[in-house]
Amino acid sequence: MFSSFLAFLAQYRIAIVTLLSVISPLFYGNWIQTKSPWPWLWLFAVTMLVLLLATLTPERYAQSKLVERVLPAIHRVFDMADTERVTVHILKSRRKERYEQLVDYHPRKYGGRGRSFPFSHGIVGECFKKMGAQWYSILDGETFEQAMARRWNFAPEELGRLRKDRRSFFAIAIGKSSDRAKAVVYLDSP
């Protein structure tokens, strides 16, 4: 949810900064001049916080809207079923070795935007490290939980953030940032 808010701030940054730059002095003036300053102080503080967030929001959140428009085309090109999903993850921190899901899965009925994982977890993390295509299918007779713990090092509490009906996974790296991929396109299927 917060990443959606940041995407909105990044996309409309100029309009938000302009509007709040005009409005915030009015709140400040009323805060100083009235006998009941608390509502004006609150409005001024919230306005300044949103203004600060709008100016500091990374550009990748604005670009996420472009990525969302491409996902349906990828879904169609690969002739994927409605139960099969596609999304894009981005490098969040090379130093901390973490990646973040940039956009919700397509089709839209699946969420996920903003989730963050370490490189040590999942096929996407491996793709960021190895910078090549990765694929994996859960073995017959093996549960999702067993496969994710055995192959991808997911702890039980982390498995709660994942859909457990997936059986096949594919990830391909895009771009290069030093010794890591910049982004990964991820597809999965039940």
Q: State how far the Cα of 82 lies from the Cα of 53, in Å rounded to an integer.
A: 36
Residue 190 has a pLDDT of 92
Give pLDDT < 50 ranges for the chain: none
Residues in the chain: 190
pTM over 0.85: no
DSSP alpha helices (H): ranges in the chain? 2-11, 13-33, 38-56, 60-77, 122-130, 144-152, 156-159
Evaluate whether 136 touches 168 at the Cβ level (below 8 Å). Answer: yes
Residue 61 has a pLDDT of 65
Residue 62 has a pLDDT of 65
Fold of 60-189: Beta-Lactamase (3.30.450)
27 by DSSP, 3-state: which? helix
Residue found under tokens 């100016």: 55
83, two tokens: 């139960």
Domain ranges of the chain: 2-56, 60-189
Residue 140 has a pLDDT of 92
Residue 81 has a pLDDT of 93
Q: State how far the Cα of 8 lies from the Cα of 10, in Å rounded to an integer.
A: 5
Residue 9 has a pLDDT of 75
pLDDT (tens digit per residue) in 103-149:
899 997 778 888 888 998 889 999 999 988 999 999 999 999 999 88
Give buried/exposed letters for 4-23 (b at 16+ CB in 10 A, else e). Answer: eebbbbbbebeebeeebeee
Residue 1 has a pLDDT of 59
Evaluate whether 175 touches 183 at the Cβ level (below 8 Å). Answer: yes
Residue 3 has a pLDDT of 66
Nearest in space to 29 (alpha carbons), one of 19, 21, 20, 37: 37
